[in-house]
Amino acid sequence: VICPPFSSLPAAVSLFEGTNIKVGAQDVSKFKKGAYTGEVSVEMLDGLVEYCIVGHSERRKYFGENDRDVIEKA
């Protein structure tokens, strides 16, 4: 599973279609929808990818995310 930036997801999905390589998202918003600048909602990922990283160490270090945030995203 590779997880490119959101803007590259459609191209990556196309590129690896029919291969054993799967494409996932780097993160997902804990908000299902709404105006949250820079966030990627689950609705935006639905039908595009089957995998998503939640709880990455960089999100915890630089954005202060914690276990509760990860639970809300899942």
State the DSSP H helix or E strand holding residue 25, giving kind and residue range, or none if neither: strand 24-25
Predicted TM-score of the model (pTM) = 0.86
Give the Cα separation of 4 and 12 in Å (integer). 8
Is residue 28 assigned to a domain?
yes
Q: Which of 2, 49, 1 is nearest to 28 (CA)?
A: 49
User: What is the structure's pLDDT at 39?
Assistant: 93
User: What is the structure's pLDDT at 45?
Assistant: 96
Is residue 47 assigned to a domain?
yes
User: What is the structure's pLDDT at 35?
Assistant: 87
The b-or-e profile of 17-38 (16+ CB within 10 A means b, else e) is eeeeeebbbbbbbbeeeeeeee
Is residue 43 assigned to a domain?
yes
User: What is the structure's pLDDT at 4?
Assistant: 98
Over the chain (74 residues), what is each successive 10-residue block's mean pLDDT?
Answer: 98 98 97 89 95 96 96 93
Tokens 């959101």, located at residue? 6
Domain span holding position 25: 6-73
Is residue 32 assigned to a domain?
yes
